[in-house]
Amino acid sequence: MSKRLVNILTPIFAVILGIIFGTIIMLVSGYNPIEAFIALGQGAFGDVYQIGEVVRQVTPYILAGLAVAFAFRVGLFNIGVEGQFIVGWLAAVWVGVTFDLPAIIHLPLAILAAMIAGGLWAFVPGLLKARFRVHEVIVTIMMNYIALHTVNYIVNTKMNQGSSKTAKIHETASLRSEWLSDFTTGSSIHWGIIIAIICCFIMWFLLEKTTRGYELRAVGFNQDAAHYAGMNVNKNIILSMVISGCFAGIAGAMEGLGTFGYMAVQGGFTGVGFNGIAVALLGGNTALGVFFAALLFGILKIGALSMPLAGVPKELVDIIIALIVFFVASSYIIRIVLERFSKKEVK
């Protein structure tokens, strides 16, 4: 069985296994799994409105997933996507609120600001890793807390417009559109999905089709070999973290310019960055894989909101998601099983 096929089949089996085990848990705890899944399906695809909400939820997941996946391809664990996401969100809203520009400049400027903010936030751990070999996992986790509380402070003191949130961004910086909203009978869908898809393409192109991407991947495969081949490992480490942070920053811009149109004080982490890790893992760290994995997570998350209407606690969906991640992480088992099968075929 080809390696590529195994790579595609592993996440699919993980999802199926996750759903099977989720079903068992529901049966054991006395819930009706069929009703639960119907409620989930209705919650995600019941009508065009729900589909709009799914697309809205998928948008930041794609970008956060890309951010994690990009760093991972270069051999780095960017656990700091959450923090980069939050600073990106603030930067985008700040530009959206402060400036008065025509839409054609304002919107790109707001997104660019989010990219820069996210990129800078990721530059610090990248630099520390490259110069002093400080482990990026620890630095990025800590940077998450710094981001959360600094941003809360800024929103609360500098940009507060009453009830702990910023003013609404100007219409010219908004990703929302009447047309899209009407088309989905009033959902909070916005144009961000187009940006997310473009970013998928950028990630694929950058890694697979450019010399720089080849270098980045080489560093990911084997730093020593890359170094021996004359590549500047440190530069590539920093670069990959910054690009990863840019993706995360854009994800934040999606919330700031699309979903909300403002930034409120966050009681805790939004979870988008952490879901991004799961999305990247499930998507095998490829652009296309991330896209589909984000789609699945978006469907599960939005669908789960309607599950209490069927009398099933929506925490069960969190369990199913956790199980899927578990099975992807332990894909080793699935791989072995698949290989057994393919060997038998050969005989």
State the nearest-atom distance from the C-beta of 114 to other proteins, in Å: 17
Residue (51 or 197) nearer to other proteins, CB: 51
What's the CA gap between 99 and 106, in Å, rounded?
8
State the nearest-atom distance from the C-beta of 260 to other proteins, in Å: 7
The distance from CA 310 to its chain's CA centroid, rounded to whole angstroms, is 29
State the nearest-atom distance from the C-beta of 305 to other proteins, in Å: 6
- The strand pairing partners of 264, in sequence order, are 165
| Positions in the binding site for other proteins (CB under 8 A) | 1-2, 4-5, 8-9, 12, 38, 41-47, 49-50, 53, 56-57, 149, 152, 156, 163-165, 186-188, 255, 259-260, 262, 264-265, 267-268, 270-271, 302, 305-306, 308-309, 311, 314
Report the alpha-carbon angle 174-176-181, nearest 5. Answer: 165
**Paired tokens of 118:** 């996210």
Residue (64 or 216) nearer to other proteins, CB: 64
Residue (5 or 105) nearer to other proteins, CB: 5
Give, to the nearest 10 degrees, the angle between helix 81-98 and helix 233-253. Answer: 50
Residue (12 or 105) nearer to other proteins, CB: 12
Do the beta carbons of residue 20 and residue 14 sit within 8 Å? no
- The strand pairing partners of 149, in sequence order, are none
Residue (34 or 138) nearer to other proteins, CB: 34
Give the residue among 53, 56, 19, 52 at the shortest CA–CA distance from 36: 19
H or E segment at 77?
Answer: none
- Burial readout 24-63 (b: 16 or more C-beta within 10 A, e: otherwise): eebeeeebebeebbebbebbbeeeeebbbbbbbbbbbbbb
Q: How many CB atoms are located within 10 Å of the residue 268 CB?
A: 6
Residues listed for the chain: 347
Do the beta carbons of residue 188 and residue 56 sit within 8 Å? yes
Residue (129 or 170) nearer to other proteins, CB: 170
Residue (215 or 255) nearer to other proteins, CB: 255
Residue (126 or 284) nearer to other proteins, CB: 284
Give the residue among 150, 171, 42, 38 at the shortest CA–CA distance from 86: 150
Number of helices (H), then strands (E), in the chain? 15, 0
State the nearest-atom distance from the C-beta of 75 to other proteins, in Å: 27
**Sign of the C-alpha dihedral, residues 8, 9, 14, 19?**
positive
